[in-house]
Chains A and B, each alone.
Chain A
């Protein structure tokens, strides 16, 4: 009994000093920190950040009645500044009564189909991204705080498996680039640490907002791996793991990328 207590005590001491060491040596860098000064300024200045136009659009959609029930998001959720504050820091999550996690975009679509009786918005749809950016923006500056539980943990573990497994014709894993070679140059581009802190992002190259899933697909295509269909649970699993890696880092939505 006392041996067990001692054991537990030791584990606790270990765990807390480990956690303290983690904080002291936290060298994680969000993609933002590797952007040039011009892009950082653009992201920081709400009047210059092109992503903010989509946040504004999202704000209009928030208040717009939709679907056969003719209800707006605001009818149920009120002011997003209150009801949506912090929500994006803990997605993907499991909706009540469901058996698997959805990401923020999936949650918004659930509200459309179930609570507004409106049609599902397809991936990368402008209105869907705008609503997502609007909701996520309410958490800007708040630390990522993933939820836990047996089902979530299992999906997260699946995501970590995908992250570490080599795949594609080039036989690379996410970890090879984003853990082992982050900060080094891939064809002149600094490899970021792959923190999902700023999504949806505004990408100058696309002249549009884009989702995290779109980014993940680009990385998969880059290593010539078969990309999963856009509604595949593998992306949600990967997102869960990426959020865990980025736990504690502040959300930045909408981030700007070149």
Chain B
């Protein structure tokens, strides 16, 4: 009873998975949660708002009023949850290049195909599986 709890805590505390699991892509979506559990929308909002964790607002704007400095390189995140299903959003975060090979949006859960990654980020995904699920859970709530 005790030991699995310790392992579970260790997994949560570990920031970005060094070995990303290979998510199952069905059409233009990843239907299943990367962790097998639903994410937390409030945590997801904090990740999206954070300039050094999610980095989303570098490029996107979104309904996060307290962040004054937002980007306009990419479409607004407002309404993303009505435009896309949960599974579609998950694939867009995990690896948008699967949908648009030329996309400039970074793949948040992929480590291959990158060049000259800084040593402290080498082999790491930008977000962990749990963080991706949190972001997806938040985006789903953006119904306009």
Contact = CB atoms under 8 A, between A and B. Distances in A.
Contacts of B59: 186
A224 B57 CA distance: 17
A169 B32 CA distance: 25
Interface in A173-191: 176, 180-181, 184-189
A235 to B, nearest CB: 14
Contacts of B68: 188
B57 A187 contact: yes
A216 interface: no
Given A176-B104, A185-B71, A168 B58 contact: no
A217 to B, nearest CB: 11
B114 A172 contact: no
B115 A165 contact: yes
Interface residues of A, number: 22
B118 A168 contact: yes
A245 interface: no
Interface residues of B, number: 24
B116 A168 contact: yes
A178 to B, nearest CB: 12
Interface string B18-62: 000000000000000000000000000000000100010111000
A94 B126 CA distance: 41
Contacts of B70: 185, 187-188
A227 B118 contact: yes
The secondary-structure label for the interface of chain A is loop
Interface string A87-104: 000000000000000000
Given A169-B106, A171-B106, A224 B121 contact: yes
B14 interface: no
Given A167-B117, A188-B71, 11 more contacts: A166-B115, A168-B116, A170-B126, A171-B114, A184-B72, A185-B70, A186-B73, A187-B69, A221-B118, A225-B116, A226-B118
25 contacts: A167-B117, A168-B117, A168-B118, A168-B121, A169-B121, A169-B124, A170-B55, A171-B113, A171-B114, A185-B70, A185-B71, A185-B73, A186-B59, A186-B71, A187-B51, A187-B57, A188-B71, A221-B118, A224-B117, A224-B118, A225-B118, A226-B116, A226-B118, A226-B119, A227-B118
Across chains A and B, which 5 residue pairs bring their CB atoms closest together, nearest first? A188-B69, A169-B121, A167-B116, A187-B58, A170-B106
Interface of B: 51, 55, 57-59, 68-73, 104, 106-107, 113-119, 121, 124, 126
